[in-house]
Chain A
Amino acid sequence: MQTSSFPLEKIQKDFPILQRTVRDGKPLVYLDNASTTQKPIQVINAISDYYTNHNANIHRAVYALAEEATEAYESTRDKIAKFLNIKNREEIIFVRGTTEAINLVAYAWGRQHIKEGDIIVTTEYEHHSNIVPWQLLTKEKGAKLEYIGVDDNGELILEHLDFYLKTGKVKLVTFSQMSNVLGTISNTEEIIAKCKKAGVKTLIDGAQSVPHMKVDIEKLGCDFFAFSAHKMLGPTGVGVLWARKDVLETMAPFHGGGDMIREVHKYETTWNDLPYKFEAGTPNIADVIGFSTAIDYLSKIGMDTIREHEIELTKYALEKMSQIKGITIYGTKDVLKRGGVISFNFHDVHPHDVATIIDRDGVAIRSGHHCAQVLMERLQVAATNRASFYIYNTKDDVDKLIKSLEKVAELFKL
């Protein structure tokens, strides 16, 4: 039984895809939510309604449709401000996703402020999107990229941060609030506090945290924050970069083009106000509007309620899975320190083989390096299996995963 107050049955009915079957009539057990989540009918309808009834380009024309589209697009910014406790709506920049948000910072802030000999600090459990842009930047500038290590419990070793901060050369510390492989929730407040004391900027990758727990950006006090819509019931192709206004004002534009300008002359151009200076070209209007509905959906349930549901599910899964012979689970066992992401290996069976076999029962998990090869090296594995939960998952889903793992053991005679 789930927590009695959690409207699980009602939620499941809102997701059309959960009604379908896969692989010859098996009900879908979707456990790849850290990768992307499914979409409720409300979000699908909002996108369809935009194209059916309101489609027009925004910020320019004066006719009725254009006003409706602009209003729907811009009101999403206000909704995000409320959802994450952001004071200034003009600090919210729409991008394609977390990856683009981080690249924007590396390009538009990094190229202005990073110099030879400077240090950028990231962590061993980052997604490639929070490593590669910094490799590109530090190589271009002759700066250095350093890593906060991960201990055997899957947590960041903050002494490493202290060590680098002492050099006085660190300009930016960039890290995920929740690991996409281990589910570890970073000591975000503590890291930001240390950096602030040292006068160092911070970027938080919130791609895994914002969908699953309450986040208060004002309270965090970081400088940059990035996240994606598609990991929180919204459409693909939409994400947000939030940055403090005074920081944004020191940055050069990212892309040049329409909408980001004030006046264009033959040889020079003046920039539009924030946030438009960083939103060149026609944006992904329909999907921003779909994202707005996703935020409504999550807000209605409540982020604390969602977190409780996932804690309960993760606790159940960790207990049940730990009892399976030959399983290795990575990261902390303390459910209060982790999200609903469980990476594991099963005997010495390659994760791709595990995922293929359990897919025959309709169980969808991720296998591979999860765009985190630096962490795979640290764990000394080539790949892991990863099951990750969201609001529509049940203890029954966990049971089905475990039952399918028994088939793997049978096939490989384990």
Chain B
Amino acid sequence: MSDPIYTEIIIDEAKNAQNQGTLENPDISQHDANPMCGDSITLQMKITGNSISDIKWHGDGCTICKACTSVLTQIIKGKDIDVAKNLKKEEILSELGLEHLIKQSPVRIKCALLSLKTLKLGLYSYLAKKIENSSSFDSLKEEAAKLY
């Protein structure tokens, strides 16, 4: 039986989600939740120089949320901050064959993109603090809001 969302790839990714746990003394720790469904995650990152040297996440979410969070953490772990800053939703969704959610499921796309929104909020707060320029934080918040 084939299902447009619940493929083996997604169910397996969610069951064996990568990078779960907590970091000691993270440089970034960002929590966010979807108000309607109860998906709720915390992303934590260690920043070394310009790169994301470690990333972990914990929380409670549906299969889509967990699978996408797992993929996101695998994409950006060890990468430059700029890579994470410019990460596009399509890059995560295509890994799981979920691009169709953008057009077809305005509700479930929020589950898929919670981790990306959380990542951008966390990164921008961190960067804004570093450069003491709160206007860049606002523009990042706007960018995060546009994800949906």
Contact = CB atoms under 8 A, between A and B. Distances in A.
Given A353-B64, A411-B1, A368 B11 contact: no
Contacts of B6: 353, 356-357, 411-412
B9 interface: no
Interface stretch (B33-41, B88-96, B139-147): B33-41
B63 A368 contact: no
Contacts of B62: 350-353
A357 B3 contact: yes
Given A353-B64, A382-B40, A410 B5 contact: no
Interface in A376-414: 376, 382-383, 407, 410-413
Contacts of B3: 357, 360, 411
A382 B34 CA distance: 12
B111 interface: yes
Interface string B24-62: 000000000000111110000000000000000000111
Contacts of A376: 38
Contact of A356 (B36, B60, B108): B108
A353 B38 contact: no
Interface string A331-352: 0000000000000000001111
A350 B39 CA distance: 10
A181 B75 CA distance: 39
Nearest to B3: A411
A367 interface: yes
A369 interface: yes
A410 B1 contact: yes
Interface residues of B, number: 18
Contact of A412 (B5, B11, B38, B108): B11
Contacts of A360: 3
Nearest to A412: B11
A352 B40 CA distance: 13
Contacts of B63: 349-350, 353
A382 B38 contact: yes
A367 B1 CA distance: 24
B64 to A, nearest CB: 7
A368 B34 CA distance: 10
Contacts of B1: 407, 410-411
Contacts of A383: 37-38
Nearest to A376: B38
B11 A411 contact: yes
Contacts of B38: 368-369, 373, 376, 382-383
Contacts of A352: 37, 39, 62, 64, 108, 111
A410 B87 CA distance: 34
A120 to B, nearest CB: 25
B103 to A, nearest CB: 16
Contacts of B111: 352
Contacts of A411: 1, 3, 6, 11
Interface in B88-113: 108, 111
A410 B108 CA distance: 21
Residue among B1, B11, B39, B63 facing the most chain A CB atoms (10 A cut-off): B63
A368 B108 contact: no
Interface string B57-84: 0001111110000000000000000000
Contacts of B36: 368
16 contacts: A351-B62, A352-B39, A352-B62, A353-B6, A353-B62, A353-B64, A357-B3, A357-B6, A360-B3, A367-B37, A368-B38, A369-B37, A373-B38, A382-B38, A382-B40, A412-B6
Given A352-B108, A382-B40, 14 more contacts: A350-B65, A352-B39, A352-B64, A352-B111, A356-B5, A357-B3, A357-B6, A367-B37, A368-B37, A369-B37, A383-B38, A411-B6, A411-B11, A413-B11
Question: Lowest 5 CB-CB distances: which A-B pairs, in order?
Answer: A350-B62, A352-B62, A383-B38, A382-B60, A382-B38
